Amino acid sequence: MSRRVIGPDEDHHVHSTFSDDAVSTPAQNLAAADRAALRVVRMVDHVRESTTYVPEFLAAVRALPRIEGLTVLTGVEAKILDADGTVDAPPEVLASIGEPHGADRVLLADHQVPGPDGPWSPHATLQRIVDGLDPQDVIEMLLTATIRAIQRVGPAQLAHPFSVLPKIGISEDDVPDELLDALADVAIAAGTLVEVNEKWQCPSTRVADRWRAAGVQLVPSTDAHTEADVGRYEWVCTA
């Protein structure tokens, strides 16, 4: 088993047709989780501040038949918008995270770089770097925004941490230990889960090992957008 992650019989990030880029229904994902002999599956879909489908999504998941030995959890995935840690999700959805009528967790995602004036696309960030922005400033901005987002919301899970870095020509090796440790401290204090993500192959072994040693709870995820990928690991479970 890999040193990267614990619980390969779990999948904490599975999308359904409630997300506009996924193709399998919650029922199909449940059947796939059963076939993969998973012990835990988290049904997750993308939200924005304008999203209205969350009650329907949660109702659909809660109406699924129970399968002995399989725990079904829920989540909503939202991007971190800016350097203040603003999260792109409906306020009422964020307020209900962890409540009986809400999703279990909000998945905080680095789909773009959270800049001081809002999200920066990879292209815009690269242009700023070409124009003289220090990549270390980008790294600090990302880590600071992530810490602030964790502190702003209820029960959270970091989705594919650092997946945006390769898109802007920055390696995880460039992230200083002290920033990794600061994020670890906040995640532990808040009870935030941190993914080791199959689809984006992040975080790196160096980062995952450091966070694990600090006491961060790492969870495996496929980030599946089709039932064929649910619970199926190669990179995560490669020694």
> Strands 105-109 and 71-79, how do they pair?
parallel
pLDDT score of 17 more than 60: yes
Q: What is the number of other CB atoms lying within 10 angstroms of the CB of residue 190?
A: 15
pLDDT value of position 232: 95
Q: Residue 1: is its pLDDT beyond 50?
A: no
Output the pLDDT for position 6: 57
Cβ neighbourhood burial of 28 (10 Å; 0-12, 13-18, 19+): middle
Share of the chain above pLDDT 90, in %: 95
Amino acid 7: pLDDT: 62
In this structure, the chain runs to a length of 239
Position 97 scores a pLDDT of 97
The continuous run of DSSP H or E covering 5 comes out as none
Residue 110 has pLDDT above 90, yes or no: yes
Please classify residue 177 by burial: count the beta carbons closer than 10 Å to its beta carbon, then call 0-12 exposed, 13-18 middle and 19+ buried: exposed
Reduced 3-state DSSP string for 67-129: CCCCEEEEEEEEEECCCCCCECCCHHHHHCCCCCCCCCEEEEECCCEEECCEEECHHHHHHHH
User: Taking residues 112-116, what's their average pLDDT?
Assistant: 97
10-104+112-159+169-220: CATH, from 3.30.70.100, 3.40.50.300, 3.20.20.140, 3.20.20.80: 3.20.20.140
Q: 93-108 pLDDT, tens per residue?
A: 999 999 999 999 999 9
Whether the per-residue pLDDT at 60 is higher than 70: the answer is yes
Q: What is the pLDDT of residues 122-176, one digit of tens each?
A: 999 999 999 999 999 999 999 999 999 999 999 999 999 999 999 999 999 999 9
Question: What's the pLDDT score for residue 144?
Answer: 98
Three-class secondary structure assignment of 7-62: CCCEEEEEECCCCCCCCCCHHHHHHHHHHCCCCEEEEEEECCCCCCCHHHHHHHHH
Inter-axis angle of helices 122-130 and 135-152, nearest 10: 140
Distance CA 237, CA 104 (A): 26
| Percent of the chain with pLDDT strictly greater than 70 | 96
Amino acid at 43: M
Token reading at 57: 């999504």
Nearest to 110, CA basis, from 86, 140, 78: 78
CA proximity to 206, closest of 175, 169, 163: 175
Predicted local distance difference test score (pLDDT) of residue 238? 57
Given this model, what pLDDT does residue 58 score? 98
Element (H, E) at 189: helix 177-190
Contact 146, 85 (CB under 8 A): yes
Closest among 148, 47, 43 to 90, alpha carbons compared: 47
What the block records as the tokens of 233 is 């690991």
What confidence score (pLDDT) does residue 41 get? 98
- Element of type H or E holding 155: none
Q: Count CB-CB contacts under 10 A for residue 60.
A: 17
